[in-house]
């Protein structure tokens, strides 16, 4: 039987989602918890891989287990076992061929910038208090993303991928008081893509680049033409969508 897990986590204390040697990851913590509670080796598969310090307000993972599960009891016990910065919301059975990574139809991220200083938001925002941003120009440049599909210029170098094509369906900045948030949705994302896009848009907002430069940067396919990668702490994976027929067992 295959089960999906819906969860969230604050990524501050973790070296990303994926299990890696000699560092602590979110995937490792959940693997350990499920393996102890279910009394066999469990290795979950996540819908994606967030980097060190990146957060997820919605993440899905799946695992296989052939024995019957008391789901409510497992959720309660697993949450008791896990650190407070990882929370399990749901565990539900799905079709045995359902895959959290390959069957996701879209993923959404937010990048959160606080325009000022707030000691209570240090772990979850990038705080800018010395610069004035032209958000209108940043949104004009963000809209250009929707006209392109090849985003190699925003991909981390030496990434092993078959294609740099992504279908970006939304890219917009929204501001409420001092909180400025970049919302972006696509079918898939390249490694470091969102943080590089935000860095490029910040340069445009600061007047270091023009709105028209955005097209040149994308068409250059050159990472060095784009902006710097902004800090991980402001980035959140916020939503993952799947076909409704696949989630009918939820």
Helix (H, G, I), strand (E, B) or coil at 231: coil
- DSSP, collapsed to helix, strand or coil, labels residue 103 as coil
Longest dimension (CA), the chain: 60
Residue 187 known to be catalytic: no
Instruction: Please tell me the distance from the alpha carbon of residue 123 to that of residue 131, in angstroms, as a whole number.
Output: 20
39 sits in the region (left: phi over 0; alpha: psi -120 to 50; else beta) called: left
Cβ burial of 38 (10 Å; 0-12, 13-18, 19+) is middle
How many Å separate Cα 200 from the centre of its chain?
18
Helices (H), the chain: 26-38, 71-81, 135-144, 193-205, 213-220
Spot the catalytic one: 51, 84, 150, 212: 51
223 Cβ partners below 8 Å, 6+ apart?
152, 153, 154, 155, 156, 157, 196
**Quick one: CA dihedral 199, 138, 204, 187, positive or negative?**
positive
Residues designated as active site? 51
């Amino acid at each position: 039987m295959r089960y999906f897990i819906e969860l969230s986590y604050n990524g501050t204390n973790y070296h990303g989602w994926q299990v890696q040697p000699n560092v602590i990851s979110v995937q490792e913590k959940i693997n350990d918890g499920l393996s102890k509670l279910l009394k066999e080796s469990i290795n979950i598969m996540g819908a994606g891989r967030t980097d060190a310090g990146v957060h997820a307000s919605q993440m899905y993972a799946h695992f296989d287990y052939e024995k019957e599960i008391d789901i409510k009891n497992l959720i309660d016990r697993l949450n008791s076992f896990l650190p407070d910065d990882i929370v399990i919301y749901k565990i539900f059975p799905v079709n045995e061929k359902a895959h959290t990574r390959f069957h996701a139809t879209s993923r959404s991220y937010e990048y959160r910038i606080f325009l000022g200083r707030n000691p209570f938001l240090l772990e979850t925002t990038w705080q800018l208090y010395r610069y004035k941003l032209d958000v209108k120009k940043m949104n004009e440049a963000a809209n250009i993303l929707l006209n392109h599909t090849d985003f190699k210029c925003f991909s981390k170098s030496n990434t092993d991928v078959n294609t740099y094509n992504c279908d970006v369906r939304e890219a917009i900045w929204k501001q409420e008081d001092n909180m400025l948030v970049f919302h972006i949705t696509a079918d898939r994302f390249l490694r470091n893509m969102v943080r590089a896009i935000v860095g490029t848009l910040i340069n445009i907002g600061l007047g270091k680049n023009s709105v028209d430069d955005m097209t040149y940067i994308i068409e250059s396919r050159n990472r060095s033409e784009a902006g710097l990668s902004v800090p991980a702490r402001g980035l959140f994976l916020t939503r993952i969508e799947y076909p409704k027929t696949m989630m009918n067992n939820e």
